[in-house]
Structure 1
Amino acid sequence: MDPDWLTCLACAPHATARLNEDPALAARWIALPRRRLSPGQCLHPAGQPVRASWFVEEGLVRSVVRDTRGRERNTGFHAECSWIGAGVPPYPAVSVAGIEAIEASRVVELGHGELQAWLAEMSAVGDMLADALRFAFARQAAREAELLLLTATQRYQAFVSNQPALAARLPQHQLAIYLGVTDVGLSRIRARLGLTPAGRARRGAG
């Protein structure tokens, strides 16, 4: 069973179903701008003010930070029915991480001005926003705990256990960047766990 922090009521499919129960709100949702992204395309650069949140309708995007040498570290992945943003919407914030597409994707853009109007008019939106923020902060705390307390092998096992569909979907090098290891390092972890042909052969011989 997934940990409670992995469940975001504002991200799950039933949240958009709740929006559609209100025809006026559904019309406003449909009217929001959509953006299509090609693999590798940047949705929002790091270091720039964020004045919107985005909902992933199709595809897969990542949050990524880079050091002065250009080395990358993925901080999170966002597939269908996920929200992406920075800070505490609808208040503007500067994003530490960039947001980039891994797959061809389509996102809905909810500007902070529009969100403020929704919050003023509909209490249900405030409840959903509070849940989305709870989820984001819990996920961030869990990520920090993993980096401090778990080995790279344990982080890999936790990721595969908690998010098996996403683990199967991700290119290996993207998962390696998230775990903080090289592609070779991740291959060795998978081999030690018997998840590669060579690793299974060694386990069988033992």
Structure 2
Amino acid sequence: MIGEMKAQQEEIELLLSAFDRLVEIPDEERVVFRTLIERKTIPAQSHFVLIGEPTADIGFCLSGLFRLYYTTPDGIEYNKNFCGKNEFIAAYSSLLMKEPAYFSIQALMDSELLVVPFRNFETLFDRHACWEKLGRKIAEGMFISKERRERELLMLSAEERYRLFLGRYQHLENRIPQYQIAAYLGITPVALSRIRRRLT
């Protein structure tokens, strides 16, 4: 039990270190934050967020891998992004607008998160300016990622997108099925196979 508590404290410090790269958090605010956070295990193929359902939490990935994906009315899935260790994960616009999620977040392998209820995170904004700044920094990071992704889908060829994927996520290529990579690139698995053969 003591060992588990120590491990969780180390994990929370890891998250606070990630915060420190964005904004300085005073010691008294760190103490308050520790009371709001919990650890959550998401088994492989289970969902952290499900499209059309309410979402409540912001997560920080300790281990494992997630995909963020849209589902069309006829059941076709398009991977929006992947999220792994030391990355923030949330359906952020749904949290801000208090609306059901527009996309799903699924664990591709057994994964561990540190989770903060967004309503609790919002209460911190009135406590200290550092939390408002942190929320802005997280939102800015998500916006930059979204804009970059849109540009790639609209302006680059499938082969160029695959090359970027390899540069950005090379460590994932053999950890996830090829059809998941194809869904991220916006092409069919057959088209991905052709690109891979051409490059090899």
Q: Is the deviation greater in 149-158 or in 163-172?
A: 163-172
Q: Distance in 2 between matches of 1:51 and 1:94?
A: 10
Paired amino acid for 1:35? K
Give the alignment's TM-score, normalised by structure 2: 0.79
Runs of at least 5 residues in structure 2 that lack an aligned partner in the other structure:
1-13
- Report the alpha carbon displacement of residue 106 of structure 1 after superposing the two structures with TM: 1.1
- Report the alpha carbon displacement of residue 43 of structure 1 after superposing the two structures with TM: 1.3
Matching of residue 108 in structure 1 with residue 114 in structure 2: yes
CA pair 131-169 structure 1, distance change in 2 beyond 3 A:
farther
- Report the alpha carbon displacement of residue 166 of structure 1 after superposing the two structures with TM: 3.9
CA pair 79-112 structure 1, distance change in 2 beyond 3 A:
same
Deviations 1:15-36 (A, max 9, x none): 2567887366256336522221
Matching of residue 35 in structure 1 with residue 40 in structure 2: yes
Q: Is the deviation greater in 76-85 or in 30-39?
A: 30-39
- Percent identity reads 26
- SS of the residue 1:70 aligns to: coil
1:57 to 62, 69, 73: 62
- Report the alpha carbon displacement of residue 123 of structure 1 after superposing the two structures with TM: 2.1
Paired amino acid for 1:37? I
CA RMSD between the two structures: 2.6
Partner of 1:123: 129
Paired amino acid for 1:43? F
Paired amino acid for 1:172? Q
CA pair 24-88 structure 1, distance change in 2 beyond 3 A:
same
Partner of 2:180: 174
CA pair 48-73 structure 1, distance change in 2 beyond 3 A:
same
CA pair 91-124 structure 1, distance change in 2 beyond 3 A:
farther
Aligned residues: 184
- Report the alpha carbon displacement of residue 78 of structure 1 after superposing the two structures with TM: 0.8
2:30 to 25, 28, 32: 25
Q: Is the deviation greater in 96-105 or in 85-94?
A: 85-94
- Report the alpha carbon displacement of residue 112 of structure 1 after superposing the two structures with TM: 1.9
